[in-house]
Amino acid sequence: MSEGTQSEEPAADVPERGGRDAVVIGGGLAGITAALALADAGVRVTLIEGRPRLGGLAFSFQRGELTVDNGQHVYLRCCTAYRWFLDRIEGTALAPLQDRLDVPVLDVDKPEGRRLGRLRRDALPVPLHLGRSLATYPHLSLAERARVGRAALALKGLDLADPNLDTQDFGSWLTAHGQSARAVEALWDLVGVATLNAVAGDSSLGLAAMVFKTGLLSDPGAADIGWARVPLGELHDRLARKALDSAGVRTEVRTRVTSISTDENGRWSVQVPGETLTADSVVLAVPQREAHDLLPHGALDAPENLLQIGTAPILNVHVVYDRKVLDKPFFAALGTPVQWVFDRTDASGLREGQYLALSQSAVRDEIDEPVAVLRERYLPELERLLPGTRGAEVKDFFVTRERTATFAPSPGVGRLRPGARTKAPGLYLAGAWTATGWPATMESAVRSGVSAADAALAALGRPRPARLFEFEEAA
């Protein structure tokens, strides 16, 4: 970080900020969003990130010729805030959505061998858009399919504003609504584990209902899947940085905030090594544990709640083959420990062969397994799933482990998640873990950044930038 105290004068190429300034702490999606939103409203913003790059939990790194994502990320068409974010950083074309939801689901645990099913939608109104796909889904019996339809309608009737939903677990609700263990595995958990990072029995009914209602039962196109065709760092670091620079945000990476405090006039001081930044507003967009440690006394009624929000891991298993072994961009798997498999070849820059990334959510038992153990487990499973791998040479095998990938969406987590406003005037919270109503996703992170910026702007008496709030609220 440059030396000296932050200048109060705007740089020559930065629009006049009218003396209002903010420090945003944390350069993940929540912090980037808050910084952009505040700068767009004319506030002078400094964004501080501890690591050498922006993007937080959704980033890329180099491994030889490969550019690797720490974990496969997808979003859905209903993620209106993340889509706004992609637009704002001019990244939409690099992370396109499917024209229509289409998920190949391969079951390898059938007596007759491998069986491919598909979850896709038709151009029909909700819930008929999924009717044909469900009726022909081969991984469930006829009776199970009928019961899934009835449970989906019951789910649609749940009131997401009812706080009691958060006290119940989704697994018990599914059982009470006639869902067999097979239906949970082959349908509800197939979607739920990937979006919530927990099996149904470990998930809050409130969060699960939110995911399924918004994604599958709101708008026919809501669950169409989008993912980056470039490394995540291209979006969340390079393009985000470009957007921040042109919005006039001063961004400092490799800079950890060690404390924050206010003076008697309510002006904030943010301490980083060798410098004290001062500001009217501070947005704390760091993970919940770090937020707890930085929060000044009295800023939250129950700061200990932040420490009670659990975390859940995600493991990615990366395999480079010497040849093409998969002819689809991705698929989901049943009857095997493998969950979702993505073709990362083009995005990674690999020139020969094929690079697959296995995205393994809610893997508490596996996250610390040695690479050799994971290799022995997963390569034979890929041979069962993809016959083309049987004669192929494995050129590279490695794993990426994110032990605190998301907050655990356990029943009761809702009451632990604070909103953007704190009791300390001028101090706001952001992060996927705050009270956005969404599970820990890129969508939740962006929404939280918008909420924090909105609250800060209201207190500063600044008009909201209209284009910030163009995205629609969730159903």
Q: Which residues bind ligand FAD (CB under 6 A)?
A: 25-31, 48-51, 56-58, 70-71, 73-75, 256-257, 285-287, 290, 314, 316, 402, 405-406, 431-432, 440-445
**431: which strand partners?**
none
Which amino acid type is present at position 193?
A: V
Nearer residue to ligand FAD within complex by CB, 122 or 402: 402
Nearer residue to ligand FAD within complex by CB, 56 or 465: 56
What's the rounded Cα separation, in Å, for the pair 115 and 113? 6
What's the rounded Cα separation, in Å, for the pair 24 and 2? 17
Q: How far is the CB of 322 from ligand FAD (least distance, A)?
A: 26
Nearer residue to ligand FAD within complex by CB, 60 or 179: 60
Choose among 233, 224, 225, 194: nearest CA to 347: 233
Nearer residue to ligand FAD within complex by CB, 68 or 392: 68
Computed on alpha carbons and rounded to an integer, the radius of gyration of the chain in Å comes to: 23
What's the rounded Cα separation, in Å, for the pair 283 and 421? 10
> Tokens 């993912």 identify what position?
227
Nearer residue to ligand FAD within complex by CB, 28 or 220: 28
Nearer residue to ligand FAD within complex by CB, 151 or 291: 291
Q: How far is the CB of 211 from ligand FAD (least distance, A)?
A: 11
What's the rounded Cα separation, in Å, for the pair 314 and 379? 19
Which amino acid type is present at position 71?
A: G
Q: How far is the CB of 222 from ligand FAD (least distance, A)?
A: 14
Q: How far is the CB of 354 from ligand FAD (least distance, A)?
A: 21
Phi, psi for residue 309 in degrees, rounded to 5 = -75, 115
What's the rounded Cα separation, in Å, for the pair 151 and 147? 6
Q: How far is the CB of 46 from ligand FAD (least distance, A)?
A: 11
What's the rounded Cα separation, in Å, for the pair 283 and 451? 10
Q: How far is the CB of 26 from ligand FAD (least distance, A)?
A: 3
